[in-house]
Structure 1
Amino acid sequence: MNQRRVSLLMSLPRAIAVLTLVVLIASFVFVVVLQPTMDTGSGPIAQPSSDANALIQRGEYLALAGNCASCHTAAGGEYMAGGLAFDTPFGVIYSTNITADTATGIGSWSDRDFLNSMRHGVRANGDHLYPVFPYTAFTQINNDDLAALYAYLMSVPAVTRENRDNDISFPFNMRSLMAFWKLMFFKPGAFEANDQESEEWNRGAYLVEALAHCSACHTPRNILGAEQERMKMAGGEYSDTVAPGVSRPWSAPNLTASTRGLGTWSEDDLTAYLKTARNDFLESFGPMNEVIMHSTRHMSDDDIQAMAVYLKALPTIEPPEPVEPDSIIVLGRGRTIYNLHCGTCHLPTGEGDPEMAPRLNKGSLVAQADNPASMINVILYGPEAPKPALSPKWREAMEEFQYILDDDEVSAVATFIRHSWDNHAGTVTPEQVARQRWE
């Protein structure tokens, strides 16, 4: 027997051992990592209710607090039947049918299937869900409330509507990879009260962090789409419509106690805004309209107050120090444009007029935001009024300036507003304005 053959025979057991080890590791990865975590318990997920109607009514209130309809009801579509498009950095994802239809909705799901979707981000068939569905927040909803939500959704009239396939680029269209994402960024578990805080604070924390999932929009995300915990509630960016069928970035303001965030608002300012879409600073516009009109205005006064208490207690996260503009060129040009197009209603002081226009001076979270996307959208397209319409507050609606001002002019006037009076925000560039235009 030649030496090479002897060497191969001697290495065969080692090769088999290595191969076996690889198979074992691969099996471990598949079973422990790629297989989703699920609750496999038996029996009801919460103590059965003796009053089915009361449970459904409670679930309806919780669905309002979670604003389920805004995401699961497409424009012109049937209630909770899905089909709304979400434009993400990874592709377009469509919301699903969550009516009680057994073929295309969730009518065939058990209450435990529903719990697994909310707490673990897993479909009834075991597939991972994308976190566009904010199970990263919903995981904190307690079992009693999940049981009520399930009862309500099972009472929603069934609509047969096939779910639309997502349009996600490779490799993000591989749902199995979400297992690794969850290992890095997701911690499942129901909300736990803080014994050091009041009952009202804890109720507010539960509503803000779990049901209302405020951080989903108001927290910046990393390159993989996960919320940056160290910047929690310091302001985020997401894509939403600026015109029918057209999406552009929007910026959600800083909700911490920053001087450029909620630090300038009182609890009364915040409760008025969440309950009526208005306060002394502004009237709701854009994507926040749906949050208020479909959700928070229907919530109890006690719950709105609890949310305000919790939000006002958030620790301060200040944005980076803004870049100072060229005071001669940019601010001078911006002042001229402001006086010509804005000053009559918003006043030369930026304090606004109760009958003409809201305040732009210190206290406007949009004007003070680190990211100027929402402010640019308002200048270009005008503020979208809430629907259903509120009683008139201003004599005239603000006009859109997309056809009146070019990118340089919009950037100049936005920069002037953000650096005048008591405001101290960042410079807006023509490139930032160009990104927001759609025609």
Structure 2
Amino acid sequence: MQSNRPLGLPRMIAGVIGVVVVVGAAAGFAVAWRPAIAAIELPAPSSFDPALVKRGRELAAIGNCNDCHTVKGGGSFAGGLPVQTPFGTIYSSNITPDVQTGIGRWPEEAFRRAMRSGVNRDGQHLYPTFPYDHFTNVSDEDDAALYAFLMTRPPVDAPPRANRLSFPLDQRFVIAGWKLLFLRRGLYQPDSTRSAEWNRGAYLGEGLAHCGACHTPRNGLGAERSNAQFAGGDVDNWQAFALNKQSPAPVPWDAEALYVYLRQGFHPDHGTARGPMAEVVSNLSSVNESDVRAIAIYMADVFGAPSIDDRKRGEAVLAQARSPAPLTLDSNVNAAGASIYAAACATCHETGRALPYGGVNLALSTALSSPDPRNAINIVLSGIRPVEGERSPIMPGFAASMNDGQIATLLQFLRDRFSNQPPWSGVEKMVADARQSQPVLLQTSSGSHDAPRESMRREKR
């Protein structure tokens, strides 16, 4: 039976498909390709204005750059810190001015492109563990100060470690597609209806400090969910608490409390910064007070004014904290947990002693009021190390002296006694999981920087 189809039709279809493929490949190349920027000779440190370097030092502290680019036993800013993401492990890069393995031959133009667009001097796309989706907000002047600071650091010969990513994510051109979907370019635009302090805080909090990188949940492709900004995130097996109306804090935050907490790492009505947040406040303690206060003012606005009910609940919690009920071993609730608390915790938490030997009143603990018990688990396991030179809280860890069941029983008692929230579920398994990562917890608690980062954030690649 003879076909009526023209003999040239298959050839025409094949030609059209070929054209589509070629055009698609050309478009993909155009999207992914970025030119290299010519290398320069290493500038002399004396060529940078000391005032600019000093400002860059403060900006680097606000950006927490050292904690993502320094591993224990390595040189400052020399990279090599592993970031364990859902897609594999990515290692931070060397941002010292070493001419072979660092950024010593990068002109300022290349540094600014990396900050704004996530592309290195050679034209390679950088993985978004480096938060250029926030750094696109940073001004030319602040980029120049950061560049001056980094280019005057001691150079460290530290070759990059190979990332461990599966195909096709190990191909950097794939990141170009991620950027098309999620990278929004453009400098911060001040809000004329707001104060200068609020705008300064927004510029820093949304930009260099990249608060949302930890405190915003992420989608399946590792990008921050724009419809859930500051609703809480996961970082290094810790929960980064929500910083908006969803905050589990028993006492509502205000700008003054945030300022004290960010500056000192502790507030008597809210507790102590632990985990990755301890690194953040350690850096913020060294920067200009006005910048920290501006961030606090902006973040207080993100939290929003508490409702009348929230304010009343906070006042009731504070009253309870000032006049705690005597400890009783009530067999109708959790006698085993109460007994562990009486033996291991009450000596510090029930005596009303001043810091550092008196424990924080646990009715004020956000960790115990949170829907996620991980932070409370981590603190019980690894304790709280003292902050050098400050009257900060201290607490021993109980990883070696309590088994998983005892810690879970204790935590359920604490949850029942010190919060008005329902019991947690699956606590014992979560304790066991956290214990498996105990070396990470201990290193995070002690402030060293070679623990893996289990997130898509804060990493300069």
TM-score range, shorter chain: 0.7 to 0.9
Is 1:98 the counterpart of 2:95? The answer is yes
| Contact 1:141 1:211 (C-alpha < 8 Å) held by counterparts | yes
For 2:135, the equivalent position in structure 1 comes to 138
CA–CA distance in structure 1, aligned partners of residues 198 and 305 of structure 2 = 20
1:360 partner letter:
L
CA distance in 2, matches of 1:314, 1:328: 43
Query: Residue 204 of structure 1: CA displacement?
Result: 0.7
Shift of 1:114: 0.9
Counterpart contact for 1:353–1:359, Cα < 8 Å: no
Q: 2:261 is paired with a residue of what secondary structure?
A: helix
- TM-score, structure 1 normalization: 0.83
AA aligned opposite 2:117: H
The SS at the match of 1:190 is coil
Distance in 1 separating the partners of 2:415 and 2:250 = 17
Q: Which letter does structure 2 place at the counterpart of 1:197?
A: R
Q: In structure 1, give the amino acid aligned to 2:383.
A: G
Structure 2 vs 1, CA of residues 360 and 22 (structure 1 numbering), >3 Å: closer, same or farther?
A: same
CA distance in 2, matches of 1:296, 1:352: 28
SS of 1:125 mapped into structure 2: coil
Q: Which residue of 2 aligns with 1:291?
A: 280
The one-letter code sitting in structure 2 at the alignment partner of 1:30 is F
The one-letter code of the counterpart of 2:382 is Y
Equivalent residue number for residue 307 of structure 1: 295
Q: Which has the higher contact order (CA 8 A, sep 6+)?
A: 2
Name the residue aligned to 2:242: 254
Identity %: 37
Counterpart selection for 1:340 from 338, 343, 367: 343
What are the Cα deviations for residues 253-282 of structure 1, in whole angstroms up to 9, with x where unaligned? 222244523962332222122222222143
Once the two structures are TM-superposed, the CA of residue 81 in structure 1 deviates from its matched residue by: 1.2
Gaps (5+ residues) in structure 1? 41-49, 240-248, 319-326
> Which AA in structure 2 matches 1:434?
A
1:35 partnered with 2:23: no
Q: 2:12 is matched with which residue?
A: 13
Aligned to 1:242: none
CA distance in 1, matches of 2:411, 2:382: 14
Contact 1:234–1:317 under 8 Å retained in 2: no
Q: Give the residue type in structure 2 aligned to 1:357.
A: G
Partner-residue secondary structure (3-state), 2:90: strand
Distance 1:393 1:108, change over 3 A: closer
Tell me the SS of whatever aligns to 1:400: coil
Aligned-pair CA distance for 1:360: 1.3
Question: In the alignment, what sits opposite 1:245?
Answer: none
Is 2:112 the partner of 1:115? Answer: yes
Aligned residue type for 2:238:
W
Q: Tell me how far 1:330 sits from its aligned partner.
A: 7.1
Between the aligned partners of 1:99 and 1:10, the Cα distance in structure 2 is 61
Residue of structure 2 in register with 1:44 after alignment:
none
1:373 aligned partner, one-letter code = R
Q: CA deviation at 1:312?
A: 0.7
Query: Secondary structure in 2 aligned to 1:175?
Result: coil
Cα distance change on mapping 1:265 and 1:21 into 2, 3 Å = closer
CA distance in 2 between partners of 1:238 and 1:176 (Å): 27
CA distance in structure 2 between the partners assigned to 1:339 and 1:233 by the alignment:
37
Report the Cα offset of residue 63 of structure 1: 1.3
Pair 1:329–1:301, CA change in 2 (3 A)? same
Structure-1 separation of matches of 2:358 and 2:430:
28
Structure 1 residues 118-150: Cα deviation after superposition (integer angstroms, max 9, x where no partner): 111111112111121111211111111112211
Q: Distance between the aligned counterparts of 1:149 and 1:132, measured in 2?
A: 19
SS at match of 1:268: helix
Give the total of aligned pairs.
402
Larger displacement relative to structure 2 (16-25 or 105-114): 16-25
Q: Rate the CA distance shift 1:51–1:126 in 2: closer, same or farther, 3 A.
A: closer
Q: Which amino acid aligns with 2:271?
A: L
For structure 2, list consecutive stretches of 5 or more residues without a partner in the other structure: 38-46, 307-329, 439-461
**Letter of the 2:19 counterpart:** T
1:217 aligns with 2:220: no
TM-score after normalising by structure 2: 0.79
